[in-house]
Structure 1
Amino acid sequence: MGPLEGIRVLEMGQLIAGPFCGQLLADFGAEVVKIEPPKTGDAMRQWGRTDADGNTLWWPVIARNKKSLTLNLRDKRAQDIVKALVAKTDILVENFRAGRMEDWGLGYDVLAKINPGLIMVRITGFGQSGPYSGRAGFASVCEAMGGLREISGYPDRPPVRMGISLGDTLAGQNGFQGALLALQHRHRTGEGQMVDASIYESVLSVMESLISEYDGGGHVRERSGSILPGIAPSNAYPTKDGGTIIIGANQDSLFRRLTALMGQPELADDERFRDHRARGRHQAEIDAIIGEWSRTKPAKELVEELAEVAVPAGPAYRAKEMLEDRHFQARESVTRVEDATLGRPIAMQNVFPRLSASPGAIRHTGPALGQHTKQVLAEWLGYDDDDIARLKTDGVI
């Protein structure tokens, strides 16, 4: 039984940010009912790579553990159904553009009157207030405005983006965190509230001391490629077999162990490298020396030797290496879950973090469109078969 067992969630999100928040809630036991447009469903049903039969391989992950209820939210009857569901809901997650829920008569002020204990998680590009609140805000734009894009890549070329929609997932995690905090507040007071999670602020929150460095001394962080300026050695280094390993030995004790393994213990006492700040000033020099050494051995051998002397190191993995790695296998970091649409198990990342007493679990992959419409309307609202048939005929569900 997950820690959120008994918590009911309506997910009215789309694409990534809201649905990722819903995925996290579902992973830990909440009953998450995902509301989707009839016929088309969430766009995530079409996004990403497909298998040989044209089935998306992303939907089974981001919609895992959820139920699918179809509603045409432009129809007044569908809006009334949402209000009825809200009366029995603990958390509502939505990530439409700010104001869209109000257009449908489903703003927080309306829903809170129906259910004063409701927690409404609202994920948008720029938040529910401020001059940009009405703007569309995809992760790429908000990553740029939150500061991430300008420091990503190499200084001699334009900024690059991560190969994932990081801003969306950060906002989804912020929404998840906000929902849990709001649940604790409700536990104490009985009072619900609105959680305002913006993508740009979710990115901004992980930008470390970037703003303080500028405000306190005029320093502007620039793109620095595979290093963090002033943090050395901590870089990607080449190996004899053409691979790459990451070594992080930027503490004095770690650096001393590394140089001993390299057969060059004198480097730890060299005035250029003897402490953290000195190594930061001579970062390129120490990286070049380590790179010459790392080229003499294959990646696997290097990683094992570094592990033996407790110097953090690891290879740069792709999915293939993750699936083959004995540590990933021992911890079941990647698991395989049977998928009815694919007709076979599909590999995906497991549920994190791990709780010792009430762990989360993957109960099933993403559902078929509208798979649980009848069940939810019957169990939550007491609709009978005739009620449901009429709604289907009228295009409400």
Structure 2
Amino acid sequence: MTQDARAGEKCREPQVRIGQGPRNRRELMAKVLWIGVWLVFLSAPIRDLVSGRHSTGATVAGALGLTAFVAVYLALVFRNMGRPFSPRFVVSLLAVLAVLAPALAYGLGAHWTGLFVYLSVACGSTLPVRAAYWAIPATAGVMVLVGLHTGEDQIDNDLLLVVLIGFAMVGVGQLIRTMGELRKARATVAQLAANEERLRLARDLHDLLGHSLSLITLKSELAGRMLPDQPEKAAQQVADIEQVSRQALVDVREAVTGYRRPRLAAELAGAQVALTAAGVTAEVPAEPDLDGVPEEAEAALAWALREAITNVVRHSGAERCLIQLTHRQTLDGPVLELGVEDNGSGGSGKGPGNGLTGLTERLEKAGGALEAGRVKHGFRLVARVPTRSPGDVGSGA
């Protein structure tokens, strides 16, 4: 697999990975904020503690129990942030929550039944699906029994909340597991593609060099035997060896050029991934129409697209980017036009850089042209390459 393909694989990795630990401080803060929002159900127990309705001993016991409950719950929620917990340890933490929730609600009153919501969430997100299908209704049943004892008036609403949120977390857990399997499958496919590429390269090099190297070896042996008695014939064999080696070098260079030649379809897909990863809203054509486009012209357009997207991501500060591919009829004949327009600053504005200069030379070599500059609301790059008409393609011109 080429370096560009590996870079494309890295770009495809999403910015925030569901069900996995954060890779940077930004992802950590996003996860903490998301989890912190759901701590709103703790407002009722906290208000009950500071209301002064309970004795000093009950207040202290309630505060300690609530602290332990929240600590265990957060440990379960953040269990994948570092080294993942073992299944036995997860079940042990769930058992602690299953004891603390009914004990606190039974002993301190109806304001504490909201803890069953957290117990339901923990069961739905950590247990296997079949076990969660039993644990969530059991949690709701225990909450009903505790609510009957404490005189909870809105037990029906709390019951619906516990069941719905618990089974919603089962669905989220299934989604996380599916995404994990997709990541593994994608890594496997990438590895298989890399292995296939290596095999193809090995086959092509064998086909290119096997005959040439065998011929060079044979003529070297002949030249060695002829050298003492027939120097003129030995010199002819050496000349043949030089010619064969030069041709082999040309074949290898052509093969390597073919491997390194970018494809426009692959660059379009990579552009979509790179722009999305950079937070740029992208409009990219799904499938390019390359009828009549020579390989050299396609490669020049692919290089132009790669350079343009690199500038958009690194230097422009753009929020939107539009990529268009259009077949046009000009006075010089049919052309394929690539347009890349963004709403950014266009870079430093100190004139064309080495990248645009190199692109201009590459496109001119393919018979095309490059236009780049600022427009009213950003920066626009237009690359054109000539195409063959359908009649020329059919005749093999």
After TM superposition, the score normalised by the length of structure 1 is: 0.27
Higher helix share: 2
Q: Which has the larger radius of gyration?
A: 2
The structure carrying a bigger strand percent of its residues is 1
Q: What is the TM-score normalised by the length of structure 2? A: 0.27
Higher relative contact order (CA 8 A, sep 6+): 1
